[in-house]
Amino acid sequence: MDDIDPRWLDDTEQRAWRAFLRMQAQLTARLGRELQADSELSLADYDVLVHLTDPAGGRLRILELARELDWEKSRMSHHLSRMVKRGLICREECPADGRGAFIAITPAGRAAIEAAAPRHVETVRRLVFDALSPDQVSALAEVSERILEQLDSPCRTPV
């Protein structure tokens, strides 16, 4: 028996945690559904395309993209294959490194993201920011950043 008697959550914490879990699940579901309905893109597709519109030439090394999105390389590869098949992006050789590859946005992909972005932003505003006061927006940012720090910190309580 390795009985850890954990520090259970108190009422306030439980309330926050339950609300957060529900909100998070419902919000992403809704954002995904609306994006899909408006533009035939999934949230994942959207993220990929956004990252490909920034850099000059609209192309990135594959693992560079994976790092930015925080995806596993395998997930990245599978997803890119599907997007290639749909004509949103294409693979390009990397002359400087024989094993490497670029992935680049196609005109069709650019058209897709440019059509999708305004509606998506509008959705985010309607579902999230319209509901929040400026103070709440700041609080959300701070809480998120604080938790991100916590996640990055190497602390993993040794067993």
Partner DNA sequence: TCCCTGTGGTTGATGTGTCATCAACAGCGT
Partner DNA sequence: ACGCTGTTGATGACACATCAACCACAGGGA
Binding residues for DNA, per CB under 7 A? 29, 33, 42, 44-45, 61-64, 71-82, 91, 94, 97-102
The site map against a copy of itself for 40-69 (x = CB under 8 A) is: ------------------------------
Stretch that binds a copy of itself, among 54-62, 83-91, 96-104, 138-146 (CB under 8 A): 138-146
Own/partner long-range contacts of 42-49 (Cβ < 8 Å, ≥24 apart): 44/79, 45/83, 45/88, 46/113, 46/116, 46/120, 48/79, 48/80, 48/83, 48/89, 49/88, 49/89, 49/105, 49/109, 49/110, 49/112, 49/113
> How far is C-alpha 124 from the chain's CA centre?
14
Residues pairing with 60 in the sheet: 103
For DNA, which is the closer residue by CB, 15 or 73?
73
For a copy of itself, which is the closer residue by CB, 53 or 144?
144
Distance CA 139, CA 122 (A): 21
Residue 9 engages a copy of itself in binding (rule: CB under 8 A): yes
For a copy of itself, which is the closer residue by CB, 99 or 153?
153
For DNA, which is the closer residue by CB, 47 or 129?
47
What residues contact 51, with CB distance under 8 A and at least 6 apart? 60, 65, 68, 69
- Which residues of the shown chain bind a copy of itself in the complex (CB under 8 A)? 4-9, 12-13, 15-17, 19-20, 22-28, 30, 70, 118-119, 121-122, 124-132, 134, 136-151, 155, 157
